[in-house]
Homo-oligomer: A and B are copies of this chain.
Amino acid sequence: MPLLVMKFGGTSVADLTRIKNAAQKVKREVERGYDVIVIVSAMSGKTNELVGWVEETSPLFDAREYDAIVSSGENVTAGLMALTLQEMDVPARSWQGWQVPINTTDTHSSARFTSIERANIDTKFSEGFKVAVVAGFQGLSPEGRITTLGRGGSDTTAVAFSAAFQAERCDIYTDVDGIYTTDPRISKKARKLDRIAFEEMLELASLGAKVLQTRSVELAMRFKVRLRVLSSFEDTDENSGTLVCDEEEIMESKVVSGVAYSRDEAKLTLVTVEDRPGIAAAIFGPLAQAGINVDMIVQNISELQGADKTRAVTDMTFSCPTSQVARARKALEEAAAQGHIKYDTLVEDNDVAKVSVVGIGMRSHTGVAAKMFSALSAENVNIKVISTSEIKISVLIDRKYMELAVQALHDAFELDKVS
């Protein structure tokens, strides 16, 4: 029997009416001849309520208790979804993580899958059950305690089940109808993509297109799970939404697939640091230990200073989320106080944003960077930092130009047109 995995996020199961709506989508796939594994999130707002209670009770909470508490929201939705399906004459039952079992590491609150045991669910399918409703976001530690995967973990649960059960496809139902060339709130010309490659989705996800959890895309890429993102609030069919898939499945491929942005970036520059082997490690080691998500890094060319011009110095610039600036400053000051690094000043610019163009076509095309820079130049947008990867070019610019830059790049690469 062919098998589908269908995942419904918090807004898609926010109340009994929406659960019914989601169940109808499941029933339709059963009628088409599929066995279905449904992965559900907690009703929207429920997990936040539980997390709030935990944090109020115990600011430095025991992550094992946190997991036991916050996983309960998914259990409720799984049961309600199973009941709703039964009411529609679809044979279904709910599964909590420990019942499957979904084995994970014991790194509570950010556990990773070690194995998903198929036997119990397979048995139920063979007994005539058509749907297994699985509580997302949770698993079982080697010690027998409940674990969770970190926020948004239900996407990852869905992909992991798709891999374990060799699903034909993993449909992620959410509150948007697919992946767009850029954020439709910023550019009216944004166009929904029919297909996008895993690598592109990864770059877009990590750049702030918050439709899919990054880890779920990584896992899908690794196990070649075809992911489809589509709306739970619209009538959908087999062509709806956006398919995230291997690039070989994408016939037509533009040089650039999308323009992404990240609004709340900060740029920090250590002025006049000693230029010697190991200096980068001395700077970014403490930042990593402090949990700073350092993104772009630029090192200036070296300069010789001192009376005899023997002291080589440079400037080191990096970006991180604005929310982490204070923590980054503290980590650097401590490293300086302990004598590990030396610098004249730390310059902070909290008013920058990152804009990126992403596309697997870049690999085989030249001139993408030049086109990007000239489009920005034509709008008088000054570029502060540039960083490139094989399929992405990112720039830091003043935050006030962010929308303008996204629109200009969307136009320049003609993303509103189907190639």
**Smallest CB–CB gap between A162 and chain B, Å?**
24
Minimum C-beta distance from A19 to chain B (A): 7
Q: Chain B's nearest CB lies how many Å from the CB of A144?
A: 6
**Chain B residues near A19 (CB-CB < 8 A):** 57
Identify which of B50, B62, B69, B93 contacts A86 (C-beta below 8 A).
B62
Query: How far, in Å, is A47 (CB) from chain B's closest CB?
Result: 12
B residues near A54, Cβ cutoff 8 Å: 79-80, 83
CB-CB nearest in chain B for A96? B68
Residues of A68-94 whose CB lies within 8 A of B: 68-69, 72-73, 75-76, 78-80, 82-84, 86-87, 93-94
Given contacts A72-B76, A76-B50, contact A83 B99 (CB under 8 A): no
Q: Are A65 and B82 in contact (CB under 8 A)?
A: yes
Q: How far is the CB of A66 from chain B (nearest CB, A)?
A: 8
19 A-B interface contacts by CB (under 8 A): A16-B53, A50-B76, A57-B80, A57-B84, A57-B87, A58-B84, A58-B87, A61-B83, A62-B83, A62-B93, A65-B83, A65-B94, A68-B94, A69-B75, A69-B79, A69-B83, A72-B73, A98-B98, A99-B144
Q: Inside 8 A of A248's CB, which chain B residues have their CB?
A: none
Inter-subunit contact A65/B87 (CB<8 Å): no
Number of A residues whose C-beta is below 8 Å from B? Answer: 35
Assess whether A99 is in contact with B65, with CB atoms less than 8 Å apart. no
- Provide the main secondary structure of the chain A interface: helix
| Whole-angstrom CA separation of A75 from B75 in the bound complex | 11
Q: Does A330 contact B (CB under 8 A)?
A: no
Chain B residues contacting A79 (CB-CB under 8 Å) are 54, 65-66, 68-69
Query: In the complex, A58 Cα to B56 Cα: how many Å?
Result: 35
The answer to whether B87 and A78 have CB atoms under 8 Å apart is no
